[in-house]
Amino acid sequence: MTILVDQNTRVICQGMTGWAGTHYSAAMMEYGTRIVGGVTPGKGGTYHLNLPVFDEVAEAMNETGANASMIFVPPENAAAAMIEAIEAGMPLVVALTERVPVQDMLRVRAALKQSSTVLVGPNSQGILSPGVCKIGVMATGSERKGHVGILSRSASLTSEVIAQVSAAGLGQSTTVGIGGDAIHGLSMRDCMELFLADQDTRGVIAIGEIGGSEEQELAEFLAGIKPDIPVVGLVVGRYAPTERRMGHAGAFAQSAASDAGNKINALKDAGVIIAKSPHLVGETIREAMAAAA
Amino acid sequence: MKLHEFQSKALLSIRGINVPEGRVALTPGEAREAAEALGVERIAVKSQVLAGGRGLAGGVRLVSSPGEVEAAAAAMLGRTLITEQTGPAGCRVNRVLIETAVRPVRSLYLSLLVDAARAEIAILAGAEGSEDIEQRLQSGETRLERLSLGTGDALEKAAVTGLAQRLGLGSNLHSAFASLLDQLRLAFVELDATLIEFNPLVVTEEGKFVAVDVKMIIDDNALFRHPELMALREEHDGDEIELVAQNRRLNYLRMDGNIGLAVNGAGLGLATLDMVRAANGSAANFMDIRTTATSLDVAHGFTLLLNNPAVRSILVNVHGGGMQPCDTIADGLGIAMRRTGRTCPVVVRLAGNNAEYARFRFANFGCKVIDCPDMWTAVNRAVSAAHGERS
C-alpha cells in the first residue's frame, strides 16, 4: 500500500500547457501515472499531450473523474490555482510551483480550513510511490518499491535519501516532499500520521531542517502515540550561516524552536532515532528496521 | 528584501503614517545642509544599515546644531557598524538619515508580521518600546499583546479599543490608534511585507502617533508585483557578490572558511555544511543552484568561487533532480574553470539525473576534477585539499 496516491489516482495538471506542465506531465505519464487531463483558463476544448484541456478544475473533475491535481502554474497565479482546486473539492492537490508569495499562502491556508482537500506543497518535489504513481518533478531511477516511508521538507535531500535507502537494500512505500516554504499544506505531523496508518510502511524517515517548529510538533505527536515502527530523523542546518537580523519581532516569532539542535533534541526525546550524519540515513533505517523485525 | 529605514519611512509616509521629517545624506556636508533645512533644535543622526540594534551600538546620535550633525555624520559615514544583530562582520554605513528628533510623551512597541506557525498576520504591541525590548521580554519586565489579522482583515472596533486599553492609551488616542492600525494593515498587505516594526512608536504632546524607527522586510517572492520596490535594491549596500548571484538564480551567502561550496537544493546544502564541519573543514560560502539556473548562470557562480582568493578547494555536491540535471552543473563548472584558468582542487560528488553524462562533459572540457562516489568521501577530500594535503 501507499499513502496519498495509489493505482486508482487520476491526475489533472493545472498549467499543463505551459513549459513545465508539458515537460513533467509527459515524464509522469511515461512513469505510469494516470494523467487524465489538464486545466488552462482560455484553452478549454483543446487537446494537449493527447489529453483534453479544460478551462476550470470543477469541469475537469466532472469530465475525467480526476481525484488529484498537480499545479505547475507560475507563482503569479499559483495560489489562485490552489484555491480553485480546493473550492472544487479536489481530494489531493500537489503544488510544485516554487517561490509563491507568502501572503498568497495565507489565503490558501484560509481556504483549506473549510475543506477536506489535502494540499501538498507548494515548493514540493511531489509524491512518489515506486512503480505505482509519481506526481512530481523528481528524477527517477534510484527508487525501489518497498516499505520505508519518507517525508521531507527538502527536495534535493529526499533524492539523496531515496538513493541511500535503495543502496541499503530497502525500498520506499511512498516519498512525500511536503515543501520547503514556511507556509504550506500537509505538515510533517499529518504526513507521519498517514504513514503510521499504512500497513505497508514499516519504517519512516523524517527529514527536517532549521526554521519553523514543525519538527517539534511532529515530536509531540510521536511522543503521544509511541509508534510501533522505527522512525529515523535527520535535521540539517546546525552550521548554517547566520543571517543579519532585522528588528526584534522576528526573534519573538521564531523563538528557539527554529534551531537545529532544539529540533534534534525534541525528536530524540520522542523516541526518534537521529541519523548521525546526512550520509548515514540509509544505514540507520536499515539497522533500525532489522532490530525491530 | 530588507529595506533601509529611510526607504521604509518614505513608503509608509505616503500611505498616511506619521514619520519624523528628515532627509538622507551621503556626506557630512549634505548632513549639515539637511540639518539646516530642518531648522529644529534637536536633530537625530541615524546610520542607515540593514540590521537592528543601532542605538545601543552608537549608530544613532541626538545632537542640537548643524555643526554637531556634520561631525556626527563624519564619524558614522564610511565606518563599519557592528551591532548585536549584524554579526561580527558588521555593516558599512554609506548613508545617514537626518531627522527632527521627536519628543515622546510615550514610547510604544508595535509590529505586524507573518506568523508562519499559525499561517496568519499578527500584530504585536508593547506598552514600552525600547532597543532592549528582547531582553526585557525575556526577563519578564514587559510583555507583548497579540492580535490576529488573519489574511489581512480589518480589525473589529472592539478589538482595537481593547488593545489600546491594554497598552494604557487614553480614550482621546483611540481613534488615532485605530486609523494607524488600519493604515499599517493596508500597507502591509499592499507592499507584500513580512515584517513592519515600529520601535519605538511615539505618542507626541499633540496626541499624534509617530513612527520614530521603522524596520521593514518585503517578501522576495512577491517582488514580481512590485517593480517600484525592486528598484530600491539599487540603494542597498548589501554584498555585491550576493546580489550578482541573486540575478543569476543562485542563492549565495558569504562565509568565512576556505572551501568553495556549490550544491543544488537548500536542504542538501545545509546537510553538506554540517558534514564539512563534522570533517573539521569550513566553507567560504554557501551557493545553492536554483532549479531554473542555466549552465551560464552556474558558470557565473563558479567564477565567483574560483575568483575568491580565500578558496583553497571547491566542493560540488549535486544530486541531479528532474529539474536540474548534473550535466547543466558540469557545463557551468567547465566553462568557469576554463574562463578563470585558476587551478585549485575541485572535488565533485555527482548522483542522480545525468550523473554519467556530466562526467563526459568534464572530460570534454578537459577539466580535472576529483570525482567521489559519495558525499562523505567528497567532503573529506575537499577538507584535506583545503588544508593543503595532497590527495
Here the CATH number for the domain that contains residue A34 is 3.40.50.720
Q: Are residues B95 and B134 in the same domain?
A: no
For residue B373, how many other CB atoms are within 10 A of its CB? 10
- The whole-angstrom distance between B103's CA and the closest CA on chain A is 22
Q: Are residues B15 and B158 in the same domain?
A: yes
For residue B148, how many other CB atoms are within 10 A of its CB? 13
* pLDDT confidence of residue A24: 96
Residues of chain A found within 8 Å of residue B225, distances taken between Cβ atoms: 76, 101
Q: Taking 80 as the threshold, does the pLDDT of residue B208 lie above it?
A: yes
pLDDT-based confidence at residue B53 (cuts at 50, 70, 90): confident
Give the residue on B whose Cα is nearest the Cα of A235: B271
Answer yes or no: do A278 and B91 touch at CB < 8 A: no
Answer yes or no: do A154 and B119 touch at CB < 8 A: no
Q: Are residues A58 and A167 in the same domain?
A: no
Residues of chain B found within 8 Å of residue A141, distances taken between Cβ atoms: 352-353
For cell 562533459, the residue is: B361
Residues of chain A found within 8 Å of residue B376, distances taken between Cβ atoms: 277, 279
Please give the mean pLDDT across all residues of chain B.
Answer: 93
Q: Are residues A71 and A176 in the same domain?
A: no
Identify whether B197 is a catalytic site residue: yes
Q: Which of A104, A153, A239 sits opposite B277 (nearest CB)?
A: A239
Q: Which of B217, B278, B291 sits opposite A277 (nearest CB)?
A: B278
For residue B387, how many other CB atoms are within 10 A of its CB? 13
Answer yes or no: do A156 and B87 touch at CB < 8 A: no
**Of residues B233 and A38, which shows the higher confidence score?**
A38
Q: What is the SS3 assignment for chain B?
A: CEECHHHHHHHHHCCCCCCCCEEEECCHHHHHHHHHHHCCCCEEEEECCCCCCCHHHCCEEEECCHHHHHHHHHHHCCCEECCCCCCCCCEECCCEEEEECCCCCEEEEEEEEEECCCCEEEEEEECCCCCCHHHHHHCCCCCEEEEEEECCCCCCHHHHHHHHHHCCCCHHHHHHHHHHHHHHHHHHHHCCEEEEEEEEEEECCCCCEEECCEEEEECHHHHHHCHHHHHHHHHCCCCHHHHHHHHCCEEEEECCCCEEEEECCHHHHHHHHHHHHHCCCCECEEEEECCCCCHHHHHHHHHHHHCCCCCCEEEEEEEECCCCCHHHHHHHHHHHHHHHCCCCCEEEEEEECCHHHHHHHHHHHCCCCEECCCHHHHHHHHHHHHCCCCC
* pLDDT confidence of residue A253: 65
Q: Are residues A216 and A245 in the same domain?
A: yes
- The whole-angstrom distance between A63's CA and the closest CA on chain B is 30
Q: Which of B197, B255, B268 sits opposite A248 (nearest CB)?
A: B197
Answer yes or no: do A244 and B263 touch at CB < 8 A: no
* pLDDT confidence of residue B40: 95
Q: Taking 60 as the threshold, does the pLDDT of residue A25 lie above it?
A: yes
Is position A115 within any domain? yes
To 10 degrees, the CA torsion angle through B303, B304, B307, B310? Answer: -140
The 8-class DSSP code of residue A32 comes to: T
Task: Give me the CATH number covering residue B214.
Answer: 3.30.470.20
Q: Are residues B139 and B213 in the same domain?
A: yes
Answer yes or no: do A278 and B272 touch at CB < 8 A: yes
For an interface test with A, which of B270, B327, B350, B372 has the most A Cβ atoms less than 10 Å from its Cβ?
B270
Q: Are residues B60 and B168 in the same domain?
A: no
Is position A4 within any domain? no
Is position A5 within any domain? no
Q: Cβ(B157)–Cβ(B127) under 8 Å?
A: no
- The whole-angstrom distance between B88's CA and the closest CA on chain A is 10
CA–CA gap between residue A179 and residue A181 (Å, rounded): 6
Q: Tell which of A120, A151, A168 closes a domain.
A: A120
Q: Which of B150, B265, B270 sits opposite A237 (nearest CB)?
A: B270
Answer yes or no: do A180 and B120 touch at CB < 8 A: no
Q: Are residues A134 and A102 in the same domain?
A: no
pLDDT digits (tens, 9 = 90+) for A75-91: 999 999 999 999 999 99
- The whole-angstrom distance between B112's CA and the closest CA on chain A is 8
pLDDT-based confidence at residue B237 (cuts at 50, 70, 90): low
Residue B84 identity:
E
Q: Which of B220, B286, B321 sits opposite A137 (nearest CB)?
A: B321
| Active-site annotation holder among B5, B70, B109, B131 | B109
Mention every residue, 6+ apart, whose C-beta is less than 8 A from residue A43: A17, A53, A55
- Mean pLDDT, range A168-175, rounded to an integer: 98
For an interface test with B, which of A104, A134, A246 has the most B Cβ atoms less than 10 Å from its Cβ?
A246
Q: Are residues A109 and A184 in the same domain?
A: no
- Mean pLDDT, range A1-14, rounded to an integer: 95
Report CA A61 to chain centroid distance, whole Å: 22
Q: Tell which of B180, B205, B234 closes a domain.
A: B234
Q: Tell which of A89, A120, A151 closes a domain.
A: A120
* pLDDT confidence of residue B240: 76
Answer yes or no: do B144 and A234 touch at CB < 8 A: no
Q: Are residues A203 and A76 in the same domain?
A: no
For an interface test with B, which of A239, A242, A254 has the most B Cβ atoms less than 10 Å from its Cβ?
A239
Q: Are residues A153 and A282 in the same domain?
A: yes
- Dihedral over Cα of B149, B154, B156, B160: its sign: positive
Answer yes or no: do B51 and A244 touch at CB < 8 A: yes
Q: Are residues B7 and B28 in the same domain?
A: no
pLDDT digits (tens, 9 = 90+) for A116-143: 999 999 999 999 999 999 999 998 999 9
Q: What is the count of structural domains for chain B?
A: 3
Q: Are residues A113 and A133 in the same domain?
A: no
Answer yes or no: do A236 and B267 touch at CB < 8 A: yes
Q: Are residues B80 and B187 in the same domain?
A: no
Q: Are residues A173 and A232 in the same domain?
A: yes
Please give the share of chain B, as a percent, with pLDDT higher than 70.
98
CA–CA gap between residue B351 and residue B381 (Å, rounded): 17
Sheet holding A34-39, edge to edge: A47-48, A51-54, A34-39, A10-14, A68-71, A92-95, A118-120
Answer yes or no: do A246 and B219 touch at CB < 8 A: no
Specify the long-range contacts of residues A186-189, CB closer than 8 Å, at least 24 apart: A186/A118, A186/A119, A186/A120, A187/A214, A187/A217, A187/A218, A188/A151, A188/A153, A188/A214, A188/A215, A188/A217, A188/A218, A189/A214, A189/A217, A189/A218, A189/A220, A189/A221
- Mean pLDDT, range B33-57, rounded to an integer: 93
CA–CA gap between residue B165 and residue A13 (Å, rounded): 52
Q: Cβ(B319)–Cβ(A159) under 8 Å?
A: yes
Identify whether A184 is a catalytic site residue: no
Q: Taking 70 as the threshold, does the pLDDT of residue B238 lie above it?
A: no
Q: Taking 90 as the threshold, does the pLDDT of residue B328 lie above it?
A: yes
Please give the mean pLDDT across all residues of chain A.
Answer: 95
Domain region containing B267: 239-387
Measured in degrees and rounded to the nearest 5, phi and psi for residue A123 equal 55, 45
Residues of chain A found within 8 Å of residue B113, distances taken between Cβ atoms: 249-250, 253
- Mean pLDDT, range B27-47, rounded to an integer: 97
From B66, B73, B65, B58, select the one nearest B28 (Cα to Cα). B73
For residue A192, give the H/E element and its range: helix A188-196
Task: Give me the CATH number covering residue A273.
Answer: 3.40.50.261
- The whole-angstrom distance between A159's CA and the closest CA on chain B is 7
Q: Are residues B249 and B298 in the same domain?
A: yes
Is position A6 within any domain? no
Q: Cβ(A38)–Cβ(A25) under 8 Å?
A: yes
Task: Give me the CATH number covering residue B82.
Answer: 3.30.1490.20
* Of B160-169, B238-247, B319-328, highest mean pLDDT: B160-169
Answer yes or no: do A250 and B267 touch at CB < 8 A: no
Q: Taking 70 as the threshold, does the pLDDT of residue B187 lie above it?
A: yes
Q: Cβ(B266)–Cβ(B287) under 8 Å?
A: no
Q: What is the count of structural domains for chain A?
A: 2
- Mean pLDDT, range B4-26, rounded to an integer: 97
CA–CA gap between residue A261 and residue A265 (Å, rounded): 6
CA–CA gap between residue B227 and residue B91 (Å, rounded): 26
Answer yes or no: do A239 and B291 touch at CB < 8 A: no
Q: Which of A153, A160, A213 sits opposite B117 (nearest CB)?
A: A213
Q: Tell which of B195, B215, B234 closes a domain.
A: B234
Q: Tell which of B101, B133, B167 closes a domain.
A: B101
Q: Cβ(B48)–Cβ(B91) under 8 Å?
A: no
Give the residue on B whose Cα is nearest the Cα of A182: B116
Q: Are residues A208 and A237 in the same domain?
A: yes
Q: Are residues A116 and A131 in the same domain?
A: no
* pLDDT confidence of residue A243: 72
For an interface test with A, which of B145, B274, B328, B372 has the most A Cβ atoms less than 10 Å from its Cβ?
B274
Q: Taking 90 as the threshold, does the pLDDT of residue A186 lie above it?
A: yes
Q: Are residues B9 and B153 in the same domain?
A: yes
Q: Taking 90 as the threshold, does the pLDDT of residue B175 lie above it?
A: yes
Q: Are residues A103 and A183 in the same domain?
A: no
Domain region containing A69: 11-120
Measured in degrees and rounded to the nearest 5, phi and psi for residue B101 equal -80, 125
Q: Are residues B272 and B171 in the same domain?
A: no
Q: Are residues B263 and B208 in the same domain?
A: no
Q: Are residues B173 and B200 in the same domain?
A: yes
Going from the C-alpha of B161 to that of each of B126, B152, B178, B217, the distances in angstroms are: 15, 18, 8, 28
What's the ipTM?
0.93
Q: Tell which of A120, A145, A176 closes a domain.
A: A120
- Mean pLDDT, range B345-367, rounded to an integer: 91
Q: Are residues B151 and B4 in the same domain?
A: yes
